[in-house]
Amino acid sequence: MIRVTVISFSDGRKRVHDELEPYIAKQAERIRASLESTGEVQVRLAESIVWNNALAKSEAIACLADYPDAVILNIPVFAFPNFAMIVASLVTAPCLAIAPVNGKLPGLGGLQAATNAIRQVGFKCDKVWGNIDEHTTLDKVMSFLRAAHAVTQLKGQVYGLIGGRSIGMASGAVNPDAWMRIFGVDADHVDQSEILRRAEHVDPERVEAALSWLAQNVRAIHYDGDKLTPESLKMQIRCYMATKELIEERHFDFVGVKCHYDLSEYYVTQCLAAALFNDPYDWDGSKKPVIYSCEADADGALTMQIMNLVSNKPALFFDFRHYDKEACVFVFCNCGSMSTWYAARSSKPETNLKKVSLHPIISKYGGKGCHVQYIADRGEMTLGRLTRVGGEYKMTLFRGRLKSFPEEKLQESCSVWPHGFLEPYVDPWRVIEGYDCNHVHGIYGDYVDALVKFCELKDIQCEVLS
């Protein structure tokens, strides 16, 4: 839920303020009703309408105590602009000023004056002019609020780096100083041996119950008597439970696990964990997805966490495989796992899992266990990633739609891995040239505006490939 505080502003003369107060209060209620109708936002209205300097300070301090994700400055009249400037100087959450369309009162002038005063002294404040109960205006406001929610919620979060850099991929290595400076996120390192140590102590009855749940719900488990056996699958279950315990104990908000080529070469792959952590469910019932990146891809995990905070949906972790010129799709697949929610995007786990099969890991890996195979369901997608260019962060975004294909098409790549076949809404060569990583991340729906706004709020360069 996005938490928003609405602070309203008025004329600095009490006589005039008293006349305007009912109208200003009505506009504040209008904002609250429209935002809460989305089901995404919880609104708190400031106790008093700000019509003097003292109220500007006291309402800003009250807002600080509430710690909202965003602050909306309700300016439906020509309020004295210095009041908004005082508030903006004190609050820590991103600010959005809004004024309704009303030719009988100078709300637009008040909006322009307030945002000018705020920006003139170096503070940030977005602005929207329009009636909040109209779709175009509400969409603009919601894009801002989703971005602000991600900005605010990231502050103070901790990324659990379990293992280290995987197979030489420099793009996945964490820069802890930059993370704290730009995003307010800490990175805490734990060795992968801690997963193995804890896995030994998992209750066998819990493991058997989890195995039974998988057997009852997934489409098929293709045991081969070698790579994938009941024992190797139970070890993957143990690793998931061990990692879950570690995350809860260390209060990690999102994680990345190295896997290659330590766990995947000598023990079991972490494919099952990568699927289930990113899912909104497991054998214990409904849960919040915990963003989990394969190969300890730190910037990938951070991208997925931002996407999850913006959309409140599971995020996908893909690899570029190739571009199919005949079918006009990118073939995206992962080396063993993706959130199974994308198999059917159903609120019922069994609906998604009936399209999921567990296959023996490929011979490339010396260890044992399963890959979590399915074809991602058709639908509109927002894709992208944070990368670093010359030490500076940049987000690259593009859109497309996942398409359905017969299972036989999996034989053209790696048939036991999960796949997404994406038709991009941009020239594929533009994606290949403009996108700077082998890993690509996505969420269902159109969240480009919110992600662009997130980058604006964080002073990060953003390129939308189009």
| C-alpha dihedral (361, 363, 368, 369), degrees to nearest 10 | 0
Please write the tens of the pLDDT for every residue from 104-146. 999 999 999 999 999 999 999 999 999 999 999 999 999 999 9
Provide the pLDDT for residue 361.
Answer: 98
Residues near 21 by Cβ (< 8 Å), separated by ≥ 6? 10, 49
Please write the tens of the pLDDT for every residue from 67-103. 999 999 999 999 999 999 999 999 999 999 999 999 9
Provide the pLDDT for residue 172.
Answer: 86
Average pLDDT over every residue of 436-465: 98
Provide the pLDDT for residue 59.
Answer: 99
Share of residues in the chain with pLDDT > 70 (%) = 100
302/207 Cα distance (integer angstroms): 30
- Which of the 8 DSSP states describes residue 375? B
Provide the pLDDT for residue 438.
Answer: 96
Residues near 419 by Cβ (< 8 Å), separated by ≥ 6? 321, 331, 332, 333, 374, 375, 376, 410, 413
270/287 Cα distance (integer angstroms): 20
Radius of gyration of the chain (CA): 25
Please write the tens of the pLDDT for every residue from 178-209. 999 999 999 999 999 999 999 999 999 999 99
With beta carbons less than 8 A apart as the criterion, state whether 66 and 5 touch.
yes
List the structure tokens of 285: 């019932």
- The CATH architecture one would assign to domain 2-154 is 3-Layer(aba) Sandwich (3.40)
Provide the pLDDT for residue 325.
Answer: 98
Provide the pLDDT for residue 306.
Answer: 99
With beta carbons less than 8 A apart as the criterion, state whether 70 and 2 touch.
yes
Please write the tens of the pLDDT for every residue from 137-170. 999 999 999 999 999 999 999 999 999 999 999 9
Q: Kindly list the domain boundaries of the chain, sorted by start residue.
A: 2-154, 158-464
Please write the tens of the pLDDT for every residue from 209-251. 999 999 999 999 999 999 999 999 999 999 999 999 999 999 9
Provide the pLDDT for residue 336.
Answer: 78
Provide the pLDDT for residue 171.
Answer: 85
Please write the tens of the pLDDT for every residue from 294-335. 999 999 999 999 999 999 999 999 999 999 999 999 999 988
User: What DSSP assignment string belongs to 386-423?
Assistant: EEEETTEEEEEEEEEEEE---GGGGGGS-TTS-EEEEE
Average pLDDT over every residue of 252-278: 98
Average pLDDT over every residue of 19-24: 99
Residues near 202 by Cβ (< 8 Å), separated by ≥ 6? 237, 238, 241, 242
Average pLDDT over every residue of 411-427: 98
Please state whether the predicted TM-score (pTM) of the whole model is above 0.75: yes
Residues linked to residue 221 through DSSP beta bridges, in sequence order: 358
Question: What backbone torsions phi and psi does residue 278 show, to the nearest 5 degrees?
Answer: -80, -5
CATH of the domain spanning 158-464: 3.20.14.10
